[in-house]
Amino acid sequence: MAGRTVRVGGLPADLPPDRVADKLTIHFLRSRNGGGEIADVQVLAGSQACALITFEALEVAQRILKAKNHVLSIGGKKYPLEVTAHVAELSPDEVARSRRLLP
């Protein structure tokens, strides 16, 4: 999965997460947006909601990151998206646990 996941910010806060996930899927499947086949979409709620989109192919994620302007259109409104590479961060507990597993 390394390199195939992008983080998407700038999501509409006034829509249910499942609708946002559907709209993101449609947007990032389209070849005109640089998209391609998607393996997974996770919308993470919070004060600054974001989504993690994992593509089937690394090349698609790279194309998405190179595209400058991603705008999600929903019901006549336009939402500029902030697309960045997703870097998985381990919590201190996960780091400690992985160290204990090493020989």
In this prediction, residue 102 carries a pLDDT of 46
In this prediction, residue 35 carries a pLDDT of 93
pLDDT along the chain (103 residues), means of 10: 86 90 96 94 86 96 92 92 82 46 47
Structural domain boundaries enclosing 63: 5-85
In this prediction, residue 1 carries a pLDDT of 52
Q: Does residue 93 belong to any structural domain of this protein? A: no
Q: Does residue 99 belong to any structural domain of this protein? A: no
For the chain, how many structural domains are there in total? 1
In this prediction, residue 87 carries a pLDDT of 79
Helix H, strand E, coil C: the string for the chain is CCCCEEEEECCCCCCCHHHHHHHHHHHHHCHHHCCCCEEEEEEECCCCCEEEEEECCHHHHHHHHHCCCEEEEECCEEEEEEEEECCCCCCHHHHHHHHHHCC
Q: Does residue 91 belong to any structural domain of this protein? A: no
CATH of the domain at 64: 3.30.70.330
